[in-house]
Amino acid sequence: MNRVIFNKKGGVGKSTITCNLAAISASTGKKTLVVDLDTQGNSSHYLLGYRTEELESTLADFYAGTLSVSLFPKEFSQFIYETQVPNLYVMPSHPDMDNLHAKLESRYKIYKLKEALELMDDFDNVFIDTPPALNFYTRSALIAADNCIIPFDCDIFSKQALYSLLDTLAEIKADHNPNLALEGIVVNQFQTRAKLPSQLIEELIDDKLKLFKTRISPSVKIRESHSACQPLVQYAPTHKVTEEFKSLYKELKKK
């Protein structure tokens, strides 16, 4: 199952959700891959513990390879790194991907990720982190995915933007990927005692949007796990927010 975590807004928790769901998947014995398409490299750093500039082969090299013909092209597996979490692997991003963007788009390489992932049949779950923009890499992820998860951070601007995101999913589904489905909207940074978040959630439910039942609470443990470069299931396995991510993962399995 290929899942993309998608939102055009930054700071909504895409990388945190991607890495923690992937780590929980791996902890259940599923061979799991994270594909980090965000050139900031937050997911790569979170899982590997160092900046992607230090790596020999990254997604920048993969995409650069699609722009030229080689007699001995690298296998997709050569861009994948094992993490400290058993069964969890990452395909890291690199800042050079920004420089490749225009060339990749003009030469219509938008299906290359989908084609590569289709050849990687030894992974049970793939989680794709995306940049905070609707660009070539985000579209590539949506084309390569089976399901989409949208983080929602409970403010009025996020609600206004949400319907635009749903229009984008519908357009990608109609034009490029008929199998793409919205798996659900995950409410992040949910404060139970605040009135506005509950009000916005009720409005989304009234609009019959697909919300996961699990809400992810704000917690300093999340920032601590970022600093430690350890997903929560490893850094704080019994913490409340870890249990929330486990509950969210169970909801994914039911779908």
> Which bin fits 72, alpha (ψ -120 to 50), beta or left (φ > 0)?
beta
DSSP, collapsed to helix, strand or coil, labels residue 28 as: coil
Buried b (16+ CB within 10 A) or exposed e, 154-184: beeebbebbeebbebbeebbeebbeebebbb
Instruction: State the Cα–Cα distance between residues 199 and 244, nearest whole angstrom.
Output: 21
Bridge partners of residue 128, in order along the sequence: 4, 35
Instruction: State the Cα–Cα distance between residues 104 and 107, nearest whole angstrom.
Output: 5
pLDDT in tens, 1-54: 999 999 988 888 999 999 999 999 999 999 999 999 999 999 999 999 876 677
pTM for this structure?
Answer: 0.94
pLDDT at 202 (0 to 100) = 86
Residue 213 · residue 179 · CB < 8 Å: no
Q: Which of 152, 246, 132, 249 is nearest to 204 (CA)?
A: 152
pLDDT in tens, 105-158: 999 999 999 999 998 888 999 999 999 999 999 999 999 999 999 998 877 777
pLDDT at 71 (0 to 100) = 57
Tell how far CA 109 is from the center of its chain. 20
Q: Give Cβ neighbours of residue 221 (< 8 Å, ≥ 6 apart).
A: 232, 235, 236, 239, 241, 242
**Which is more confident, 97 or 190?**
97
**Extended beta strands in the chain, E state:** 2-5, 32-36, 81-82, 88-91, 125-129, 147-152, 181-187, 211-215
pLDDT at 10 (0 to 100) = 82
Question: What is the chain's Cα-based Rg?
Answer: 18
Residue type, 65: G
pLDDT in tens, 160-198: 788 899 999 999 999 999 999 999 999 988 777 777 778
pLDDT in tens, 214-250: 999 999 999 999 999 999 999 999 999 999 999 999 9
DSSP 127: E
What CATH number is given for 2-254 in this structure? 3.40.50.300
Residue 247 · residue 216 · CB < 8 Å: no
